Amino acid sequence: MEDENPINIQPLDAKKIAETARIAMDDAEAQAIEDDLRQRLWFIDRIFDIETAGVPDTERVLPQSNVTRADEPRVCPDRERMLANAADRSGGCIRVPTVVSEEAGA
C-alpha cells in the first residue's frame, strides 16, 4: 500500500459498533476488525484515483433483454379441483400453520 493509514478510524469505532449490535468483542478482535476495515476503505478510496475520462457511462456490463412471458389472459383453474389437494381448508381457502408468533413484534 502506498499510504498505510489514509483513512482515519478512531480506535474505539469497532468496539462501539459491536456494542450497538450487541456483539461481544475483545480488544484483539476489535483491532483486527479495524485493520480489515481500514484496508477495505483504502481500496475503495483508490477507486477515485482511476482515470475514467472518455469511458462511456453504462448501467450493465452485459446487454439485458426482457425474458418474461407476454401477459396474456388465461382461464383460472377450478377452485374445487385446486382445494382438493389441500391438507387443510376452510371457507374455500387453504389453511396453513402460523409461522409468525405474536411475540415476534414485541
38-87 tens-digit pLDDT: 888 888 888 888 998 988 888 888 887 777 878 889 998 888 888 888 88
Across residues 22-49, what is the average pLDDT? Answer: 88
Cβ–Cβ under 8 Å, residues 30 and 10: no
* Ranges of each domain in the chain: 13-49
What average pLDDT does this structure show over 30-44?
87
> Considering the entire predicted model, what is its pTM?
0.42
What local confidence, expressed as pLDDT, does residue 12 receive?
Answer: 57
Of 32 and 104, the structure prediction assigns the larger pLDDT to 32
pLDDT of residue 97: 87
Q: How far is CA 95 from CA 58, 59, 73, 77, 103, in A?
A: 48, 44, 27, 19, 21
Contact 46, 34 (CB under 8 A): no
pLDDT at 1: 46
